[in-house]
């Protein structure tokens, strides 16, 4: 037990209910207080520096201090700190941002709706799909399919889409009409000897069977992250989206690409949809949209969906959905500046150049006695720890192996993120240099060795 170190820590324990934290353990252990950031590093209240291996929450793409984003925010705050988009009002930053997103979209898109978080974007997409199907006269076509281990947020509908137990248990979720199909993780879910292609065929057949069993006239949409993030950084098997999309097309089911993590270069293309061959009808994004300096998210819809929404709103007299802060001018101005910076520094080219250093560096750890699978693409990856390399069996979750590694890594100057199945995620700021990647991977290797020694001492490995 580390006692809280200073007054911020003590006040935190007394006052803050933390997201995604064991509240009881937090009362004993206290917080890690982060006070400032610089490039890919953050500093705690003792002045200790850490490489942020997940860019905060897969999001601070330009790192932790970017003066141009500060300037963009202050300039817009002085000019027009708030205005909204209800009843046809608008302002320059939201129009600029909508145009920039449509120009960069992976497939032709028609309009952009703004929200404040990934969860809100996905909830908005669900509501748009329901509204659309009512508007086009098929009110029974409402069910939505997502995947086990997919992550789409925590609001009531988006948490229902999310396919992870912690997001459902005790919350009485998922809501009715949201179904989950299989996880495209070859390492754990393929049958012995099954090729990636054969596994992808089986997953597509399972989806087809689910849609047929439910009745295709009742199934509206399929939500997918190009690369699953919080569920474990899962790269789908070869041919997966090609086969899934054929099934969706057959049953006239819309595809929603959740690009909240993958968008803006993370996978080595501008969009994960491009890396994975997805042609979405609706695309949601957030996080790197503003490098997370301010909260903003977006939902892009294609012409077909927009036309349905427009007809529906004409009948009702309004599209009855929107947030006070939809397209907030300061957040939009920061996002516009962020996208300009991505263009100027050729973020996709940079990721393509430095990604092999991260992917090869992590893959070099595959022989480590604790490592089962190393996976990833672009600047997203995961190292999964296993108890048995031959059977791919994980450690007993009660042993909290990955959380122990996260703790050890702090003393090596790394902030790590552990995911289900004892996987450690890597999703550093996109501006990370090759030297910084090498430093990150070296420190990670040292932390892993230290964990192995500790586990051997405890006869656990």
> Are 17 and 26 contacting, i.e. CB atoms less than 8 angstroms apart?
no
Q: Is 459 exposed, middle or buried (0-12, 13-18, 19+ CB in 10 A)?
A: exposed
DSSP reduced 3-state for 368? coil
The token pair that represents 271 in the structure block: 């969009």
Hey, which residues between 272 and 301 contact ligand PMP (CB under 6 A)?
A: 286
* From 53, 66, 94, 119, residue interacting with ligand PMP (rule: CB under 6 A): 119
226 part of the interface to ligand PMP, by CB under 6 A: no
Residue with tokens 């003066």: 67
Of 148-156, 205-213, 238-246, 374-382, which part binds ligand PMP (CB under 6 A)?
148-156
151 part of the interface to ligand PMP, by CB under 6 A: yes
Q: Give the CB-side neighbour count of residue 91, counting CA atoms within 13 A.
A: 21
CB-nearer residue toward ligand PMP: 158 or 394? 158
For residue 20, the minimal CB distance to ligand PMP (Å) is 10
Hey, which residues between 162 and 221 contact ligand PMP (CB under 6 A)?
A: none
For residue 197, the minimal CB distance to ligand PMP (Å) is 26
> Are 267 and 276 contacting, i.e. CB atoms less than 8 angstroms apart?
yes
152 part of the interface to ligand PMP, by CB under 6 A: yes
225 part of the interface to ligand PMP, by CB under 6 A: yes
CB-nearer residue toward ligand PMP: 120 or 208? 120
Binding residues with ligand PMP: total (CB under 6 A): 15
Q: How many CB atoms lie within 10 A of CB 103?
A: 9
> Are 228 and 234 contacting, i.e. CB atoms less than 8 angstroms apart?
yes
Alpha helices in 277-365 (DSSP H): 303-316, 329-344, 347-363
Apex 212 CA angle, 207 and 217, nearest 5: 115
Of 40-48, 254-262, 267-275, 440-448, which part binds ligand PMP (CB under 6 A)?
254-262
CB-nearer residue toward ligand PMP: 145 or 261? 261
The interaxial angle of helices 329-344 and 92-104, nearest 10 deg, is 40
* From 4, 118, 263, 429, residue interacting with ligand PMP (rule: CB under 6 A): 118
Q: Is 271 exposed, middle or buried (0-12, 13-18, 19+ CB in 10 A)?
A: buried
Of 66-74, 117-125, 414-422, 424-432, which part binds ligand PMP (CB under 6 A)?
117-125
123 part of the interface to ligand PMP, by CB under 6 A: no
* Cα 461 to Cα 451: distance, rounded to the nearest angstrom: 10
CB-nearer residue toward ligand PMP: 299 or 371? 299
260 part of the interface to ligand PMP, by CB under 6 A: yes
> What does the radius of gyration of the chain's CA atoms come to, in whole angstroms?
22
Of 7-15, 137-145, 255-263, 445-453, which part binds ligand PMP (CB under 6 A)?
255-263
Q: Which residues of 194-232 are buried (b: 16+ CB within 10 A; e: fewer)?
A: eebeebbbbbbeebbebbeeeeeeebbbbbbbbbbbbbb
CB-nearer residue toward ligand PMP: 222 or 395? 222
Residues in contact with ligand PMP by CB under 6 A are 57, 117-119, 122, 151-153, 225, 229-230, 258, 260-261, 286
């Amino acid at each position: 037990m580390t006692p809280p170190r200073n007054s911020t820590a003590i006040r935190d324990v007394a006052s803050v209910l933390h997201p995604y934290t064991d509240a009881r353990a937090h009362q004993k252990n206290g917080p890690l207080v982060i006070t400032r950031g610089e490039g890919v590093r953050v500093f705690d209240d003792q002045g200790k520096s850490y490489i942020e291996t997940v860019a905060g929450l897969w999001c601070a793409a330009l790192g932790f201090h970017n003066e141009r984003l500060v300037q963009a925010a202050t300039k817009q705050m002085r000019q027009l700190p708030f205005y909204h988009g209800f009843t046809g009002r608008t302002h320059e930053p939201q129009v600029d941002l909508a145009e920039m997103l449509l120009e960069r979209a992976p497939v032709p898109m028609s309009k952009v709706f703004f929200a404040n978080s990934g969860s809100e974007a996905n909830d908005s997409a669900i509501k748009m799909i329901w509204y659309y199907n009512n508007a086009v006269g098929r009110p029974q076509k409402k069910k939505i399919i997502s995947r086990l281990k997919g992550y789409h947020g925590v609001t009531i509908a988006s948490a229902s889409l999310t396919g992870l137990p912690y997001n459902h248990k005790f919350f009485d979720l998922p809501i009715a009409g949201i179904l989950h199909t299989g996880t495209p993780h070859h390492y754990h879910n393929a049958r012995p000897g099954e090729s990636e292609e054969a596994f992808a065929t089986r997953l597509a057949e399972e989806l087809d069977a689910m849609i047929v069993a439910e009745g295709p006239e009742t199934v509206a949409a399929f939500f997918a992250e190009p690369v699953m993030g919080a569920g474990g950084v899962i790269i789908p098997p070869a041919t997966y989206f090609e086969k899934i999309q054929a099934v969706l097309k057959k049953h006239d089911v819309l595809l929603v690409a959740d690009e909240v993590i993958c968008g803006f270069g993370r996978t080595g293309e501008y969009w994960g949809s491009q890396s994975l061959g997805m042609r979405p009808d609706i695309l949601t994004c957030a996080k790197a949209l503003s490098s997370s300096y301010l909260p903003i998210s977006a939902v892009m819809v294609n012409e077909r969906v927009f036309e349905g929404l427009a007809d529906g709103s004409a009948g009702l007299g309004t599209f009855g959905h929107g947030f006070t802060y939809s397209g907030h001018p300061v957040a939009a101005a920061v996002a516009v500046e962020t996208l300009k910076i991505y263009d100027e520094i050729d973020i996709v080219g940079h990721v393509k150049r430095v990604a092999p250093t991260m992917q090869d560096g992590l893959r070099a750890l595959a022989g480590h006695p604790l490592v089962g699978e190393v996976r990833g693409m672009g600047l997203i990856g995961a190292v999964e720890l296993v108890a048995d390399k031959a059977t791919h069996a994980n450690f007993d979750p009660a042993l909290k192996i990955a959380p122990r590694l996260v703790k050890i890594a702090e003393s090596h100057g790394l902030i790590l993120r552990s995911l289900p199945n004892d996987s450690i995620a890597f999703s550093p700021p996109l501006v990370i240099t090759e030297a910084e990647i090498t430093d990150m991977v070296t420190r990670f290797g040292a932390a892993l060795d230290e964990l192995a020694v500790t586990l051997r001492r405890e006869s656990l490995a």
